[in-house]
């Protein structure tokens, strides 16, 4: 097979790489070696990985290369280098969750997610850095993951290394988790596509939970179409998006959640980019109408009793005996979670159900909803529960509560700092097709993926 050198190869789409494989113009071994080389070069700047699985990846690459040489029929993700957040159990390979408590933890069984990726023929080459236990703090043992657009800024959390590595061209996709925005916020900060699918679209077997009522598993990629390919491979029930990308959204009904754009906390350049993106959707033929969602302003009253009590429940085996081993921010929220009463928890679950029904009714009138993903571009440090300057979950956690699929795509770059800002698309339950179609039309018309100059 002919060798294609240079970083450009690593920014091709999954379909393009698959075509090159089938034409025998490039091999999975070469692409995997290039991916590992890029990782070695950029990792000191990014700190995006906890475990690199170079040996396992090269063995798998040789196996899939043999299949391509024999011209065997293979799936879309076959031979594609992919990383995963270090929160999924991997038999025989340590799974740390970015924590001191599990720093030497080696699971005895694989997670559903890892098994699904292995079955797809993907080449899993590393486990990504993350905020400790997917909660709101980075553990000092691992350190902050940096943003390829500006390595003096965070890539966001908690799927921090997943977003940073994909944006930088280290792998064609990563799989993260999202409990309140942990796929979408880092994807927004890093200018990539991050999907929180419908609740239970992807099995959580073998995932260490933060909050089992709010946790979602989903893909981070550079393009919407790549995202759909990955979701096809990891969805617990068969799904196919081959006919999704028509290029047209003419007549699609889009509801704009205006209060989340006009909010006083929104960075002015983010507001400008999002409003410009909405005008672009109109130019593409969509019917756009402002809409309001009841209870958005008080969504924390529903989400946090659930998140914090379930979070503390999953740590009862270690807390308080090993309290000193947690990062300070994690320790604080775990302590607070144990204070949530059973009555408050059950009331929040009931309000969760009611809120989900209200959101569902909006899709009697709209195909998708849109709003900003984050109130600001990437910050210098990871936003924390103590940070009251911006409310980073106000635009994302409502759809963990409701369980709807929600995807972020870059709305463009700020003029002052050249940093990405995210535009979020929300769909009805199990209708990832509609948000894929709308987000893809926007991304293509907006010039496609823009790569950082790292």
> Among this protein's residues, is 182 annotated catalytic?
yes
**362: Cα within 13 Å, side-chain hemisphere:** 25
Beta bridge partners of 368: 254, 427
> Among this protein's residues, is 344 annotated catalytic?
no
Catalytic residue among 85, 127, 196, 352: 85
In angstroms, the CA 113 to CA 174 distance is 11
Catalytic residue among 27, 111, 158, 233: 158
**Token digits for 351?**
């309000």
73 Cβ contact partners less than 8 Å away, ≥ 6 residues apart: none
Going by their DSSP bridges, the two strands 81-85 and 173-178 should be labelled as: parallel
In angstroms, the CA 312 to CA 317 distance is 10
> Among this protein's residues, is 196 annotated catalytic?
no
Class of residue 163 by CB neighbours under 10 A (exposed 0-12, middle 13-18, buried 19+): buried
**185: Cα within 13 Å, side-chain hemisphere:** 34
Burial of 25-56, coded b for 16+ CB within 10 Å and e otherwise, reads ebbbbbbbbbbbebbeebbeebbbbbbbbeeb
Beta bridge partners of 52: 126
Catalytic residue among 27, 182, 235, 384: 182
Reference 5, options 36, 26, 28, 20; nearest CA is 26
**Token digits for 29?**
């071994």
In angstroms, the CA 244 to CA 82 distance is 23
In angstroms, the CA 82 to CA 101 distance is 26
302 Cβ contact partners less than 8 Å away, ≥ 6 residues apart: 295, 348, 351, 352, 355, 401
Q: Active-site residues: which are they?
A: 85, 158, 182
């Amino acid at each position: 097979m002919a060798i294609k050198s240079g970083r450009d190869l690593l920014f091709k789409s999954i379909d393009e790489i698959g075509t090159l494989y089938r034409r025998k113009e490039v091999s999975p071994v070469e692409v995997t070696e290039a991916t590992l080389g890029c990782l070695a070069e950029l990792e000191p700047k990014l700190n995006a990985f906890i475990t690199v699985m170079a040996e396992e990846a090269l063995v798998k690459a040789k196996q899939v290369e043999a299949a391509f040489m024999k011209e065997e029929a293979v799936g879309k993700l076959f031979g594609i280098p992919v990383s995963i957040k270090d929160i999924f159990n991997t038999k025989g390979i340590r799974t740390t969750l970015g924590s001191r408590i599990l720093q030497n933890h080696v699971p005895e069984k694989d997670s559903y997610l890892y098994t699904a990726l292995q079955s797809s023929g993907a080449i899993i080459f590393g486990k990504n850095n993350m905020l400790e236990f997917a909660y709101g703090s980075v553990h000092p043992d691992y350190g902050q993951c940096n943003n390829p657009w500006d390595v003096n800024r965070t890539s966001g959390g908690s799927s921090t290394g997943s977003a940073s590595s994909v944006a930088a061209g280290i792998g064609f996709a990563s799989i993260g988790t999202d409990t309140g925005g942990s796929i979408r916020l880092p994807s927004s900060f890093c200018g990539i596509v991050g999907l929180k699918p419908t609740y239970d679209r992807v099995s959580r077997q073998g995932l260490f939970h933060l909050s089992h009522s709010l946790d979602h598993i989903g893909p981070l990629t550079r393009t919407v179409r790549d995202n759909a390919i990955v979701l096809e491979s990891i969805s617990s029930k068969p799904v196919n998006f081959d006919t999704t990308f028509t290029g047209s959204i003419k007549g699609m009904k889009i509801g704009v959640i205006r209060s989340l754009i006009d909010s006083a906390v929104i960075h002015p350049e983010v507001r400008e980019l999002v409003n410009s993106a909405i005008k672009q959707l109109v130019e593409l033929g969509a019917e756009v109408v402002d809409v309001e969602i009841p209870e958005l302003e008080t969504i924390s009253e529903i989400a946090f009793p659930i998140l914090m009590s379930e979070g503390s429940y999953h740590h009862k085996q270690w807390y308080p005996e090993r309290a000193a081993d947690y990062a300070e921010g994690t320790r604080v929220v775990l302590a607070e979670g144990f204070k949530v009463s059973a009555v408050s928890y059950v009331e929040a679950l009931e309000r969760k159900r009611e809120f989900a029904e209200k959101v569902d009714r909006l899709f009697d009138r709209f195909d998708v909803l849109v709003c900003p993903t984050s109130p600001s571009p990437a910050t210098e440090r990871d936003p924390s529960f103590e940070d009251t300057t911006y409310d980073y979950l106000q635009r994302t956690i409502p759809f963990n509560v409701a369980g709807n699929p929600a995807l972020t795509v870059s709305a463009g770059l700020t003029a002052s700092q050249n940093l990405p800002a995210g535009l979020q698309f929300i769909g009805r339950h199990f209708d990832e097709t509609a948000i894929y179609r709308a987000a893809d039309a926007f991304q293509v018309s907006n010039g496609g993926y823009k790569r950082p100059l790292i």
